[in-house]
Amino acid sequence: MSDTAIKAGDFLFSRANTLELVGAVVLVRNDHPNLFLSDKILRLDLDPALKPWLLKYLQSLEGKRKLAAVSTGNQASMRNIGQNELKSVSIPLPPLNEQCRIVEKIDAMFEGIDKGVENLRGAKAALALYRQSLLKSAFEGKLTVDWRAQNADKLETPKTLLARIQKERETRYKSALDDWQTALAEWRAGGEVGRKPGKPRRFDDNLPVSADEASEIGTVPQAWAWVRPSFIAEPSPHSIGIGPFGSNLKVSDYAASGVPLVFVRNITNNNFRLKLQFVSAEKAEELSSHGASAGDILITKMGDPPGDCAIYPLDAPDAIITADCLKFRVWDTFADRGFVAYMLRCAPVKNQLGLITQGVAQKKISVERFKTVAIPLPSLAEQAEITRILDTRLTAADRMEAEIDAALTRADALRQSILKRAFAGNLVPQDPADEPAPTLLARIKAERAKATKSKTK
């Protein structure tokens, strides 16, 4: 086991990994007696003097391209580089003294870049904290303290708001019941031909949020109510639902065009054009209960914790959500979808999503458990004001993050520019007094032969 323990000075090479990471290298600085080599990592037996140079070269774009060219594998997700392929890669080798000068120059230039990158990453982390702080302030009603004071005469009490929602729900249900009774009478009068009209399902009641439960979740203004998702879901079938089970939507159902599918990746990246897949209009009709429409809030059922969410774009075509996605169609008469989406992203609500997951290998949210989440609900006007404030401030934060990401990209490009100059021989002056590289190689070869001969005695 000690032969596979990772030690200071080890030159490690990733021989099997994704296309981006296959061929990754590292020169270990310290002993790690509790870490061991896996079968996908090679320890390269190199002359210690050559390791710093080789490390820099294999981290350059030129070196990475050569390694990618010799990698094998049928899957883009996993590539391999065998020892024979690795040995076929050519490495430019200047005199040893020049190698040292180049590596020292690279390290010195990289040090300044690294400090800048560290500051940029610190700023990016601060932005993430700022976003959560904003959402927490929104959840607690702190963003709209002045607004509430200026509009106190226009605010409904929580009791009035909930009663108004309940009354409208009952009206909607009675209307649906009347329509059903009419359809049923017509079906019977017509000789009961075709499918019997189904009786509409009564809408879920708003399971009360106790004072103890509310205090555990977080503090909200007294003028706000607490609701469960189903109470502010559009009063229509499938307003809260999940994607189809695997057997109902298979890869063989995918088509080159048609009705788009929504995957977890689309929600987590808030990008509904990422790696588009489709199903035919006929298949979409079969899966219509799993449909997503413009403005729906889409939520990931799995993750650590689950509960990433995004609003399906208002200009997007109707789609079908896939197995690990959940749809929440908000009743916009009483709830602002932007506000609800922000509440689902804030820690007090997202923590609830983490607590209600089930599963061993993968934690997932069921529809019934999602319906138990408690969401704070101010008046519709205050919801709109909170959404406006958050949209403005978070958009500014997004612009700042985009600028940081662009600066990080420029830092990576600058590193590669320095490496390119280094391996083109343009970073440091050459010294005619340096030991020629062929002499260096001959000396290393002789020393290796001598070492091998002494081991066999």
pLDDT the model gives residue 102: 95
- Over residues 47-51, mean pLDDT: 90
What is the structure's pLDDT at 114? Answer: 96
Mean pLDDT of the chain: 90
Q: Report pLDDT digits (tens) over 222-256.
A: 999 999 999 999 988 889 999 998 789 999 999 99
Q: State the pTM of this model.
A: 0.81
Lowest mean pLDDT among 63-67, 109-113, 298-302, 359-363: 359-363
Identify the sign of the CA torsion 412, 414, 419, 420.
positive
d(CA 188, CA 194): 10
**So what's the pLDDT on residue 6?**
94
Torsion of CA 314, 315, 317, 323, to 10 degrees: -40
Per mean pLDDT, which of 41-45, 300-304, 404-408 is the most reliable? 404-408
DSSP 209-243: --HHHHHHH----TT-EEE-GGGGB-SSTTSEEEP
Q: What is the pLDDT of residues 316-342, one digit of tens each?
A: 999 999 989 999 999 999 999 999 999
Question: Would the CA dihedral through 273, 279, 282, 283 be positive or negative?
Answer: negative
For residue range 148-202, what is the model confidence (pLDDT) as tens digits? 999 988 888 888 988 999 999 999 989 999 999 999 999 999 889 888 998 888 8
Per-residue tokens: 275? 């790696």
**Cβ distance 309 to 373 under 8 Å?**
no
**Is pLDDT above 80 for 76?**
no
Structure tokens at 359: 């599963």
- pLDDT level of residue 103 (50, 70, 90 thresholds): very high
What confidence score (pLDDT) does residue 411 get?
97
Reply yes or no on whether the pLDDT at 367 is more than 60: yes
